[in-house]
Amino acid sequence: MDRPSESDAYPLHTAARLTQTQVLESLLSTSPKLTLKADEDGRLPLHWACTTASLPTITAILDATPKRGFDPDVQDSSGWTPLMIASSLRDDAGLPTINLLLARDAEVKIASNTGGTALHFATSKQNIDTVKRLLDAGATARVKDKRGQLPLHRAAAVGNVPLVKLLLERGKSPVDATDVDGLTALHHAISEGHGVVAVELLKHGADSSKKDGDDRLAIDCAPDATVRSYILRHAEMEGIDVIES
């Protein structure tokens, strides 16, 4: 089997990142305290293992970590926890890892240095099953990051209708919350050209009369006449009046 380089100051991190199972097991059998060693980014081997979604690797590290030093919510220098990393993997690839971490009492409400939670990151990657799991575990859709954004702002910006509905209905997210620029989820949806999402937000009571920090109505953020027309036409079909001035 491949051996870590003698010059590698973080051999367990490397084995975890590259899913070198045999190397990892060998290192753990002789030096389990390596699981508690942080690299220059403040990351433990567990953080790197969670980027791979390799359950054997993650489980081996969790099982080998000395009990007195074990913290499922350990944060790296950016404030990211293993749960956040797993939540941000595309296509819900981190869901099995999330279940494993939750079984080890990981906390879903912790925020990173930017104020983002696991729910924010899962939403940004459009991981709807992960969002459902986090909500079931007690995550809140009502907490803003340091940009003043709720997960709903992110769901609207990426144009994901099922996520928007999930955050509003199950997550009880405020529909008209504003970020630091005064933008609501409706502003974000329209400015990104997501007419279907905009209409969905309007159906859930979004206030089209709210103005952002630049004194713009949401409909004024439409990137072109086609998007604007689509929103106005479909809102009218739903019996919704959209404020235009």
Q: What is the pTM of this model?
A: 0.95
Intrachain domains 9-140 and 142-245 with the same fold = yes
Q: Which of 65, 122, 229, 92 is nearest to 219 (CA)?
A: 229
| Non-local CB neighbours of 172 within 8 Å, separated by 6+ positions | 141, 142
Rg (CA), the chain: 22
Cα 141 from chain centroid (whole Å): 11
Q: Which of 46, 62, 137, 130 is nearest to 95 (CA)?
A: 130
Domain ranges of the chain: 9-140, 142-245
- In tens digits, the chain (245 residues) has pLDDT values of 445 556 789 999 999 999 999 999 999 999 999 999 999 999 999 999 999 999 999 999 999 999 888 899 999 999 999 999 999 999 999 999 999 999 999 999 999 999 999 999 999 999 999 999 999 999 999 999 999 999 999 999 999 999 999 999 999 999 999 999 999 999 999 999 999 999 999 999 999 999 999 999 999 999 999 999 999 999 999 999 999 98
How is domain 9-140 classified at the CATH fold level? Answer: 1.25.40
CA distance linking residue 129 with residue 45, whole number of Å: 26
CA distance linking residue 38 with residue 10, whole number of Å: 8
Strand partners, 211: 217
How is domain 142-245 classified at the CATH fold level? Answer: 1.25.40
